[in-house]
Structure 1
Amino acid sequence: MERAYPPYLAESWDAVGLICGDPAESVESVVFALDCTDAVADDAIARGADMLIVHHPLLMRGVNSVAANTPKGRIVHKLIRAGVALFAAHTNADSARPGVNDKLAELLGVTPGAPLRPIVDELDKWGFTVPAESAEAVKDAVFAAGAGTVGDYTEAGFEFAVTGQFRPGEGADPHIGSRGELERVQELRVEFVAPRRARESVRAALVKAHPYEEPALDVVETHSGTRELGEKDLGIGRVGELDQPMTLREFTERVRTTLPATTWGVRAAGDPEAMIRKVAVASGAGESFLGTVAKMDVDCFVTSDLRHHPVDEHLRAGGCAVIDTAHWASEFPWCNQAAEVVARGLEAESIPVDTHVLDIRTDPWTIHGQGDE
């Protein structure tokens, strides 16, 4: 999961990763859901799952107790007693490729192009020395932590032979050599680039995999300059072309019939007969992107959780049409994508794990009262 949805892509306020469970435990069955509710936890336990993967973190803000008599604490205790680990991939899954926004765009017939809010990550250039026999293990570790990606290429770097020297002090526990004696070792110098946001995870992976007590490494910040964003860039939201032009009325109907049905339904603002060709999407709550799409050459913005005044002001200012979906409906399709990503990744490593998407509607809305138009 962390290879597919790197934690460093998460927003600073987010709480992603393992919420409860023992990282050392084996996993043979994984289930997926958007939220971890009581019903979802009960279903995961009933199915004998070892791990429950969700999009929305159970513990994110304002939690100072997981006592069993609290709503969230009850779920945590229930999962731990049953031996079910809980893992969340939230805004890191929104920004990843493929991610939540790619799935939403593809379902609606929109080519998932550049992100609405890109993660323009400056790069660090790394270098470290390591005995040749340990080089592959350390490289594997840093690449798994997010290093070594250059455009369409992964695990990119170069290495060359060097001679290292050191004299272990009295308090040292040297992997090679003896305390107080100068040691010269034939080593490899390995260099690669990594996103600056991944610096801590790359450093931790390197230090853990390296045989030396104190690895020799250096990190140099680089500047990548400006460039045009494209379909391979990471970030929240997607902008792309609709597979065929259609009216706002027709596109709204496509959104309604394509996404999972909810009580909330789908509503649109704008001229029903306006032609839609270029679309921006932001899964989940995307009201904060109204100002962004207003400056873009798009005909329609699809998102969730829109309020009256921001939409009214957006349209008064000449902004594009907007389509408002239920939050749950715009993100639930990601569960299938995540299950496929996990299954493919583990199959490639010959690790047998069963995956299953829990078909439980965790959308909180249950009644929709609608009068005459």
Structure 2
Amino acid sequence: MVRIASVLEYMESRYPKGSVEDWDRVGFIVGDRTHEVRKILLAVDPVPEVVAEAIDTGCQLLITHHPLYLRGTSYVSSDDAKGRMVRDLIRADCALFCAHTNADVAVGGVADALGLLVGLEEMVPLVGRGEGNLGIGRVGKVKRQTLREFSTKVASVLPKGPTGLYVGGNLDSEVETVAVSGGAGDSLLGAARQAGADVFLTADLRHHPASEHLMEGPPALLCGSHWATEWPWLPHLATELTQHCGDGTLEVSISTVCTEPWVEHLPTRGRL
């Protein structure tokens, strides 16, 4: 029999709270550590569709990347969606745990998973933290190619979503050094340039920071969706949990629900 406590012990040692950003809220959110766990669902976001999937598939533990209450709360009533999720998880005896910025910076975490997905070699942290390879983002090498070729490769491997991939820069420019960071990457534009990257892959880039950055030259920019740039970590985590937790009877599955707030991308065709 596997207890939730043993899974959380692994997660808390693998992704320690000591590497969490001050503003972040990670860890054990809902549930009882002493209860048995047979099935785990992994997802990026704790949203109603994912909570329903965990409950409907008989999971005793849901592990997400993003916290449920990032900015805290004083209320968990069923008057709002998050309160209803807490209610439903408790009624179904399904626990909830998250690893957020501690998974972003970890060796083998979110950044490494994104880098591996797009073929980076010789990866090092984009912004290092302490000893070893802990740090935000990654920078590495790919075989020399054009931005057009590399962006086509990235679009072919990122998880399918409604917003696709935005490309900024000279499509015929050469790409060899690549920086990546899953999730919102506005704050790392300067670090990507300082690292000598030819292109920076991230998400949630805003109009003015991206435009002003590109005015000054490389790196070119690839802007995926927040969900799509962080989801690639989940298969790696599933393998870890299967190998290191329990007695071989633990079933770990990955949610394929796209938890972007957008449901469709329509090209605009109005007259200029």
TM-score by length of 1: 0.67
1:239 matched residue in structure 2: 139
- Matched ranges for 1:340-359 at <5 A: 340-346=239-245, 350=247, 352-359=249-256
2:267 matched residue in structure 1: 370
- Matched ranges for 1:52-91 at <5 A: 52-91=62-101
Q: 1:332 aligns with which of 219, 223, 231?
A: 231
What secondary structure sits across from 2:202 in the alignment? strand
2:111 matched residue in structure 1: 101
2:18 matched residue in structure 1: 8
> Which residue identity is paired with 2:200?
F
- Matched ranges for 1:192-231 at <5 A: none
Q: CA deviation at 1:352?
A: 3.0
For the 8 Å contact 1:4–1:341, the answer to whether it is kept is: no
Q: 1:291 aligns with which of 166, 185, 190?
A: 190
Question: RMSD of the TM alignment (CA)?
Answer: 1.6
Q: CA deviation at 1:62?
A: 4.5
> Which residue identity is paired with 1:287?
D
> Which residue identity is paired with 1:368?
H
> Share of identical aligned residues, percent?
41
- Structure exhibiting the larger radius of gyration computed from Cα positions: 1
1:138-170 C-alpha deviation (Å, 9 max, x unpaired): xxxxxxxxxxxxxxxxxxxxxxxxxxxxxxxxx
Cα distance between partner residues in 2 of 1:351 and 1:261: 31
Cα distance between partner residues in 2 of 1:41 and 1:262: 20
Structure 2 residues without counterparts, runs of 5 or longer? 1-10
Cα distance between partner residues in 2 of 1:368 and 1:63: 33
- After TM superposition, the runs of 4+ consecutive aligned structure 1 residues lying more than 3 A away are none
Cα distance between partner residues in 2 of 1:331 and 1:33: 10
> Which residue identity is paired with 2:16?
P
Give the count of matched residue pairs.
Answer: 260
Cα distance between partner residues in 1 of 2:110 and 2:249: 25
What secondary structure sits across from 1:115 in the alignment? strand
For the 8 Å contact 1:102–1:112, the answer to whether it is kept is: no
For the 8 Å contact 2:118–2:157, the answer to whether it is kept is: yes
Q: 2:180 aligns with which of 281, 294, 317?
A: 281
1:318 matched residue in structure 2: 217
Q: CA deviation at 1:10?
A: 1.2
Indicate whether 1:92 and 2:102 are aligned: yes
Q: CA deviation at 1:321?
A: 0.6
What secondary structure sits across from 2:180 in the alignment? strand
Cα distance between partner residues in 2 of 1:352 and 1:97: 27
1:199-234 C-alpha deviation (Å, 9 max, x unpaired): xxxxxxxxxxxxxxxxxxxxxxxxxxxxxxxxx410
Q: 2:57 aligns with which of 43, 47, 60?
A: 47
For the 8 Å contact 2:51–2:89, the answer to whether it is kept is: yes
Cα distance between partner residues in 2 of 1:369 and 1:112: 38
For the 8 Å contact 1:29–1:353, the answer to whether it is kept is: yes
Structure 1 residues without counterparts, runs of 5 or longer? 122-231
Cα distance between partner residues in 1 of 2:195 and 2:114: 20
For the 8 Å contact 1:105–1:112, the answer to whether it is kept is: no
Indicate whether 1:263 and 2:162 are aligned: yes
Cα distance between partner residues in 2 of 1:275 and 1:363: 31
> Which residue identity is paired with 1:238?
R
Q: CA deviation at 1:351?
A: 5.5
